Amino acid sequence: MRDLVALSAMLVFVPLSFSNPLLAYLLWGWAGLIGLSSYLYGFMLSVPFAMMFAIITMATMIGKSDPDRQKFKLNPTTLIFVLFALHGLLCALMAYSALLVNWSTYGNLVKTVTFCVLMPLLLTTRLRIHALVAMIAVALTFHSVMDGLKFLISGGNHVARGVAQFGDNNHFALVLTMVIPLQFFLFRWSSHRLVRAGFLLAILLTVFAIVATGSRGGLVGLAAVTLWIIMKSQRRVLGAILVILVAVTVLQLAPERWTNRMDTIKSADQDASFMGRVAAWKVGSAIAMANPLFGGGFRSLQSPIVWDKFKFSPGFLGFVETPELTQRGVAAHSIWFEVVSDSGFLGLFWYIAVL
């Protein structure tokens, strides 16, 4: 049934994408964020939705006229993106052997950079920018509404893992945290009351979905975003009251295991899970110090072979005492240490330049 629904949607979306480069571009982003393949089981499972709309976008940009489209200009931001991608190519070429996802991860980097480089060519008006924000919010809200409702129905026992393309529960919590400001923007600026009420409900369910991930980083990020919303709200007192009500609801629904896990934030230096991550950061920094220009290659920290090579190296965090991990190759759980171990200090420079 899901495959039939997806096929029916494509019978509408594909012809629509050929009509205008902007529509194809928005569908490209939507397909990448909604991750349809994670919800399909049959004949539509192998369809590369994002790649299909990406190809249509580039084809229509060449073959279709668009009076609002800008010509390509190599401005400083675009140049930094291009240099970041070219540096990533060198990192992939010079990577340690036996990195299973080295080239696939670099491929994802190139796809993302391409999407970003095309953005200023197509998003040239306020309406178009609003359409992009709405596309991102709708695509990601689909996931948060699903998990938020499951959290409510299960009385707080549902564990949200998200879709495979986002990574683990911590990545999923980060994705959902990042979409809340976009939901808040659409709540404030949508003209129809029903649409505004829908996005307000979406924010609430997104909060529940973040809690359902059990991610401590998600809780910290949620606290930061909540403070930002209160500061930006025209009715700060009302906003603070709503936040308190949501927090009380979460505490009432959340199971004891979630409360106990969040409580470990106060004693991070005594938490085995957190200190294990610090140990991984030491290994990641050691990889970067041994390969300062190009790092160890994409996801090198998760390679058992590379891990064994650097597991006793202190890196630049040698002053921190950490336990010896039994796993051979673990995730960094930090974008900064992942970037520096994958692509060296030069890669970290380009990454910061992009930001």
Per residue in 164-176, pLDDT (tens digit) is 788 888 889 999 9
The pLDDT tens digits of the residues spanning 272-286 come to 667 778 888 888 999
Residue 33 has pLDDT above 60, yes or no: yes
* Continuous segment of H or E residues that includes residue 190: none
pLDDT of residue 22: 94
Residue 350 banded pLDDT, cuts 50, 70, 90: very high
Positive or negative torsion for Cα 289, 295, 301, 304: negative
The pLDDT tens digits of the residues spanning 86-122 come to 999 999 999 998 888 899 999 999 999 999 999 999 9
The pLDDT tens digits of the residues spanning 231-265 come to 877 777 777 777 777 777 777 777 777 777 776 66
Joined together, the tokens standing for residue 252 give 């009432």
**Contact at 8 Å (CB) between 302 and 266?**
no
pLDDT of residue 265: 66
Return all residues near 32 (Cβ < 8 A) that are at least 6 apart: 50, 111, 115
pLDDT of residue 83: 95
pLDDT of residue 326: 66
Q: What size, in residues, is the chain?
A: 355
Residue 324 has pLDDT above 80, yes or no: no
pLDDT of residue 74: 85
Mean pLDDT, range 4-30, rounded to an integer: 92
- Residue 68: how many other CB atoms lie within 10 Å: 12
